[in-house]
Amino acid sequence: MNAQPQRPGWTTGWIILQMVLLAAVLWILPGGAIEGGVAPVLIGSRANVLTAAGLLALGLTVFVAPGSRLQGLLYAVAGVLLGLMLLLAVRDGLSFEGPAIASWILIFAICAYVWRGLSILSRAEGRETGFLVPLLFGGLLLYLWEVATVGFEVPGILLPPPSSIWQVFVANLDTLWMDFQQTFIKSVVPGYVIGCAIGFLTAVAVDRSPFLQRGLLPIGSLVSAMPIIGIAPVMVMWFGFDWQSKAAVVVVMTFFPMLVNTLAGLQSAGDMERDLMRSYAASYLQTLLKLRLPGALPFVFNALKLNSTLALIGAIVAEFFGTPIRGMGFRISSEVARLNVEMVWATIAVAALAGSASYGLLVLLERSTTFWHPSFRRQ
């Protein structure tokens, strides 16, 4: 994408912000925040190297086209480097409690530069930009989490920093993998496949039969309104404590969204298209396979993406009501009782990664099968 014109007010504002940032950096660097004076230049210090690189990136933004992808990258790089410098200072003992004005100015500047870079990159075309923008935004959130918890000395029992969660994650990979197998592979995947398949086939049958449409949909709506904390204990009594009861809960949770979305997709075909198929003397099966099902694919994928998160939530919550000594839900409940909050957050991170990966795979599959849909056409 071509460079976007930049308003003069923005340029003046960013220059002033850079000047204020430089003063805050000189105050924050080792020596300034402690002794109350301008920090000495320590050759070889990691903080000073990061600061010099970040300020250099900021200076280069003046010499590139305003609003270009390169300028966005430079702003993002500057924010990341200065953020690492502040993180090192926090790790070395810098506290945000008290009149730490320079620290707040620097945090504001870091967020402003990363945000400015993301705003420019989000308007640029390219697959690389599509991956870079959410990656930087997620990294910014994790960074603020880390700096806030360490700088304000938040107790770990309330909110541990991401670095502590990562250490526990790495140290307990075997346990987390065992829990992942029990919850996701054994419970979520079978329940998800069965629930979505039954919902899809039921939608086709309901679309064919007006009697089922009037009689079955209210019952399906009633079942979907049942709370999971009421269904899970019943399924445990019916199917036992192992993965079968959790898969049954997932089936119940994923059935109705697939039914409703597929039925809406099958009924989305226009009258002109249906009349055209009738003029060709097409049978119901031919009309279903060549017109109505292809038109329903966007609705089906919406249900699949929605169910990918509902299935994982349902399986984890169901494990609170009875499970073998493994599984994500069991791990969360048992570690909370032991006040091992880092392990709880590590398990939550595994669940989030699994859900995000499932959603991403479904998005890729959707793009490859419904590329003809107007929502995927490039303007």
What pLDDT, in 10s, does the model give residues 59-76?
777 777 777 778 788 888
pLDDT of residue 347: 92
| Closest CA relative to residue 115, chosen from 144, 90, 145, 92 | 144
Give me the domains of the chain, ranges plus CATH numbers: 8-154 (no CATH), 169-376 (1.10.3720.10)
pLDDT at 326: 81
Tokens representing residue 178 in the block: 């065992």
The answer to whether residues 141 and 53 touch, using CB atoms and an 8 Å cutoff, is: no
Which range, 27-31, 233-237, 257-261, has the best average confidence (pLDDT)?
257-261
Phi, psi of 372 (to 5 degrees): -80, -15
The whole-number pLDDT of residue 107 equals: 79
Mean pLDDT of 219-225: 72
Amino acid 193: pLDDT: 93
Q: What amino acid occupies position 46?
A: R
- 169 vs 236, which has greater pLDDT? 169
pLDDT at 11: 55
The Cα 110–Cα 106 span in angstroms is: 6
The answer, yes or no, to whether residue 244 has pLDDT greater than 80, is yes
Mean pLDDT (the chain, rounded): 76
Task: Give the pLDDT of residue 270.
Answer: 63
With a cut of 80, say whether residue 189 has pLDDT above it: yes
Q: What distance in Å separates the CA atoms of residue 73 and residue 70, rounded to the nearest whole number?
A: 5
State percent of the chain over pLDDT 90: 9
Give CA separation, 125 vs 50, 94, 129, in Å: 30, 40, 7
Among 32-36, 137-141, 310-314, the range of highest mean pLDDT? 310-314
Q: How confident is the model at residue 350 (pLDDT cuts 50, 70, 90)?
A: very high
Q: Is 41 a residue whose pLDDT tops 50?
A: no
Start-to-end Cα distance in the chain:
13
Q: Give me the sign of the Cα torsion angle 205, 206, 209, 215.
A: positive
pLDDT at 33: 41
**In sequence order, what DSSP letters do the residues of 289-325 get, joined into one string?**
IIIIHHHHHHHHHHHHHHHHHHHHHHHHHHGGGS--S
If you search the block for the tokens 């509902």, which residue do you land on? 310
197 has pLDDT over 90 = yes
Q: What is the C-alpha to C-alpha distance for residues 306 and 258, in angstroms, rounded to an integer?
A: 9
* pLDDT tens-digit readout, 293-307: 787 888 889 899 989
Q: Is 236:245 a contact under the CB 8 Å cutoff? A: yes
- Structural contact between residues 9 and 2, judged by C-beta atoms closer than 8 angstroms: no
Q: Give me the pLDDT at residue 177, please.
A: 93
Q: Widest CA span of the chain, in angstroms? A: 89
**Segment among 163-167, 231-235, 362-366, 373-377 with least mean pLDDT:** 373-377
pLDDT of 378 over the 70 cut: no
Pick from 43-52, 104-113, 246-255 the range whose average pLDDT is largest: 246-255
Calpha distance 122→128 (Å, rounded): 11
Q: What type of residue sits at position 151?
A: G
The pTM (predicted TM-score) of the whole model is: 0.75
How far is 242 from 82, CA to CA, in rounded Å?
50
- 256: tokens are 């109705």
**pLDDT for the residue numbered 47:** 66
